[in-house]
Amino acid sequence: MYKRILVTGGAGFLGSHLVERLLDRGDEVLCVDNFFTGTRRNIEHLIGHRRFELMRHDVCFPLYVEVDEIYNLACPASPIHYQHDPVQTTKTSVHGAINMLGLAKRLRARILQASTSEVYGDPVVHPQVESYWGNVNPIGIRSCYDEGKRCAETLFFDYHRQHKLRIKVVRIFNTYGPRMHPHDGRVVSNFIVQALRGEDITIFGEGLQTRSFCYRDDLIEAMLRMMDTPDDVTGPINIGNPDEFTIRALAEQVIELTGSKSKIVFRPLPQDDPLQRRPDIGHAREILRWEPKVPLREGLEKTIGYFEGLLGSGVVGGAL
Ligand code: NAD
Ligand code: UDP
Ligand code: UDP
């Protein structure tokens, strides 16, 4: 039996891929998005699909629809976007979670929250395990995102304890791939676009900080598996790729793969930028029987191909 599934943030980078995977397996999908960071371009090929429905709506406001499952992804994810209107970012995480949990409660629907490795802040435990409570500045420029997502997790677990809701919480680590927003300032899209345009590659700080990059297809597979776990599996579960790289190594790899003549330049490190990040995915391996399959090199090649097409098409013109 197919299901009717709500994806909030469905016009975004990860959401649009999730929507596609759900349609491919035969489900009916209601995509809800306010187009803050998502674009119609990400989903326009789905418009007209008989099992796809698009609704422009802000999750900070109540939503009365009928669905069997909810994936809650609505939230700007890159620092420049979530810092653009920090109050709105916290509202999206907190009011959005309350409304989606209220909806799930009325419908007795399963609900999955796209949480983040940012709940660990600038971690002193490495690699990060789910039992680590994190090291988060509550009043810094990243706090609207980090604390908003932490509060959303709190709400999920309180609705679970108080109202017996069937919740699933995944903590997503840095994920990249085609359909990342070319202007969103995240490191993989920035470096690729800079390399393709022959512009300087901007490393923040000395580039010795680390991240672990997961290709989007691997990530979506883990999310789908998490939703299908038995009711007693709530998470939180880390999902991401445990291969850790310095930002400098990433820059060098992008230059090599694009054959670019770009030079590396160094810029000040933003406040509260985490020094290191790598998921411990022991729980995901055991509970979801999942691990990432796409190595960084292969994922970067696919992403570079996407941005080459985007730049060549003129969709984003010279404004990049
Ligand atoms: P994205 O910015 O491409 O997608 C977010 C989507 O949510 C966009 O389509 C945006 O328009 C929509 N949105 C924002 N505020 C909204 C609101 N108030 N109401 C309705 N829609 C709203 O980012 P993404 O990378 O696809 O991230 C998706 C989710 O995964 C986010 O919740 C993010 O926090 C989480 N996440 C992503 C990563 C990553 O590396 N990509 C890492 C950790 C967590
Ligand atoms: N809500 C919603 N859709 C629904 C049911 C509830 O958007 O189908 C919202 C509702 O506006 C409320 C929130 O979810 O503010 C939390 O709902 P809950 O039932 O937990 O709280 P209450 O309505 O009792 O405040
Ligand atoms: N970064 C960088 N140059 C850029 C963009 C980002 O050196 O042009 C760094 C950033 O300071 C951080 C890392 O790359 O240390 C990852 O940044 P991103 O914004 O992609 O993700 P997050 O910091 O949220 O993990």
Q: Is 211 in the pocket of ligand 3 (CB under 6 A)?
A: yes
Residue 269 CA to ligand 3 centre (angstroms): 9
Alpha carbon nearest to ligand 3 atom 3, residue: 203
Determine the average pLDDT of the residues in 267-288.
Answer: 96
- Work out the pLDDT band at 195, boundaries 50, 70, 90: very high
For residue 318, what pLDDT is reported?
41
Residue 174 CA to ligand 2 centre (angstroms): 31
Per residue in 17-26, pLDDT (tens digit) is 999 999 999 9
Q: Is 37 in the pocket of ligand 1 (CB under 6 A)?
A: yes
Determine the average pLDDT of the residues in 173-191.
Answer: 94
Residue 213 CA to ligand 2 centre (angstroms): 36
Per residue in 210-227, pLDDT (tens digit) is 999 999 999 999 999 999
- Work out the pLDDT band at 257, boundaries 50, 70, 90: very high
For residue 315, what pLDDT is reported?
62
Using CB distances shorter than 6 Å, the residues near ligand 2 are: 62-64, 98-99, 102-103, 105-106
DSSP letter string, the chain = ---EEEEETTTSHHHHHHHHHHHHTT-EEEEEE--SS--GGGTGGGTT-TTEEEEE--TTS------SEEEE--S--SHHHHTTSHHHHHHHHHHHHHHHHHHHHHHT-EEEEEEEGGGGBS-SSSSBPTT---B--TTSTTHHHHHHHHHHHHHHHHHHHHH---EEEEEE--EE-TT--TTS--HHHHHHHHHHTTPPEEEETTS--EEE-EEHHHHHHHHHHHHTS-TT----EEES---EEEHHHHHHHHHHHHT--PPEEEEPPPTT--S---B--HHIIIII-------HHHHHHHHHHHHHHHHHHTSSGGG-
Catalytic residues: 145
Asked if ipTM goes beyond 0.90, one says: yes
Per residue in 260-270, pLDDT (tens digit) is 999 999 999 99
